[in-house]
Amino acid sequence: MTQKIIIDTDPGQDDAMALMLACKSAELDVLAVTTVCGNSTLENTTRNARFILNFIGKKDIPVYSGAEKPLQRELIQAVVHGKSGLEGIDPTNEAVLTGDAVERILHLVKSHPNEVTLVTLGPFTNIALAIQKDPEVMMLVKEIVSMGGAINVAGNKNRVAEFNIFVDPEAANIVMRFPVKKTLVPLDACNHVLMQPQDIDRIKNSRLRNLLGKMMTSYIAKLEKDTGDKGALMYDPLTIFYLLQPASCWTVEKNVQVETKGEITRGMTVVDKRNVPDGLEPNATIVTHIESQDFIDCFIGRLGTA
């Protein structure tokens, strides 16, 4: 039985690879892709999402554009993805901004009550806006599975915050406090999973292999300069992998809150780690570790033949 999902995303090279993995996996029924500002401007992220879907023959999956800025703050874009968000490819297709992501999320959730998993790969702005607009319908979401947070590791945007949470902490706070099932795939589970060019070389489809090679070359170079990592960090594809192979992922249940007021700790995902916690019930499943080779084999296997 397939899982119905909506992917909310801000492509981004790793977002693009996550879209590919999701769309090439028969277990997942991608009802729609919604776009948000984050790694780049909304125009760029929407253009990039459409480009990837068209490239892999999935232009039938609808793309709906959403928030062009965070709830209360100015957009701070990522550096590692370049000006277009997909440096190395730099798509020139038309973006086609629909501006109705929130409405489409609500419509799809209402049409498939308790069946739709929201997969968020960027800032939480669209999801928070949907919650604010119709919390009753959003209670019908099956689960929210998100790439976001840094629990026991350093942040990748400031000392403690992961980028997606940092960009719109107010939106993340709304989502984390909303009483539906949630899973976070934080930096803790992502930092050790890197793909190398030789991994991409295993993909038999030359057209897809060449595209990924161009994306990876720029991404790896910018990551090494920005973070010191020598390889392509697989943040967002790991979130899709969690849906496909949860047995390869280690998890814990915790209460997570988001810091919105701290000057130094903006966007920190705060978990109560005391021996005697404050009594708040766990509100999220946190993925603490993912088997690296399991993911790489899955990614190459799904993309390698089509």
| pLDDT at position 78 | 86
Task: Return the minimum-mean-pLDDT range out of 95-109, 113-127, 137-151, 226-240.
Answer: 226-240
| pLDDT at position 183 | 98
| pLDDT at position 57 | 94
Distance separating alpha carbons of residues 220 and 214, to the nearest angstrom: 10
**pLDDT, tens digit, 9 for 90 and up, residues 285-299:** 999 999 999 999 999
Residues 127-156 have a mean pLDDT of 98
Neighbour tally for 230: CB within 10 Å: 10
**pLDDT, tens digit, 9 for 90 and up, residues 163-197:** 999 999 999 999 999 999 999 999 999 999 999 98
| pLDDT at position 35 | 98
Provide the number of structural domains found in the chain: 1
Q: How confident is residue 274, by pLDDT bands cut at 50, 70 and 90?
A: confident
Is pLDDT at 48 greater than 90 in this prediction? Answer: yes
Distance separating alpha carbons of residues 95 and 93, to the nearest angstrom: 6
Looking at per-residue pLDDT, the higher value among 12 and 275 belongs to: 12
Mean pLDDT over each residue of the chain, to the nearest integer: 94
CB-based burial label for 278 (10 Å; 0-12, 13-18, 19+): exposed
39, 96, 273, 274, 289 from 174: Cα distances, Å:
21, 28, 22, 24, 26
Looking at per-residue pLDDT, the higher value among 51 and 215 belongs to: 51
Using a pLDDT cut of 90, give the percent of the chain over it: 81
Distance separating alpha carbons of residues 12 and 37, to the nearest angstrom: 11
Helical residues (DSSP H) of the chain, grouped into ranges: 13-23, 42-55, 101-111, 125-133, 135-138, 163-167, 169-177, 187-190, 197-200, 206-227, 235-244, 292-303
- Can you read off the two tokens belonging to residue 115? 């069946």
Segments forming the whole domain that contains residue 72: 3-303
Looking at per-residue pLDDT, the higher value among 220 and 39 belongs to: 39
Is pLDDT at 227 greater than 90 in this prediction? Answer: no
Is pLDDT at 277 greater than 80 in this prediction? Answer: no
Q: What is the pTM of this model?
A: 0.96
| pLDDT at position 276 | 77
| pLDDT at position 305 | 59
| pLDDT at position 85 | 85
| pLDDT at position 38 | 96
Q: Return the DSSP state at 57.
A: T
Is pLDDT at 306 greater than 60 in this prediction? Answer: no
Strands of the 143-147 sheet, one edge to the other:
63-65, 28-35, 3-9, 116-120, 143-147, 182-185, 284-290, 249-254
Using a pLDDT cut of 70, give the percent of the chain over it: 99
Is pLDDT at 226 greater than 80 in this prediction? Answer: no
**pLDDT, tens digit, 9 for 90 and up, residues 235-269:** 999 999 999 999 999 999 999 999 999 999 999 99
Is pLDDT at 41 greater than 80 in this prediction? Answer: yes
**242: Cβ–Cβ under 8 A, 6 or more apart, which residues?**
145, 183, 185, 249, 287, 290
Residues 71-89 have a mean pLDDT of 89
Say which CATH number the domain at 114 has: 3.90.245.10
Q: Return the DSSP state at 248.
A: G
Looking at per-residue pLDDT, the higher value among 220 and 41 belongs to: 41
Neighbour tally for 26: CB within 10 Å: 7
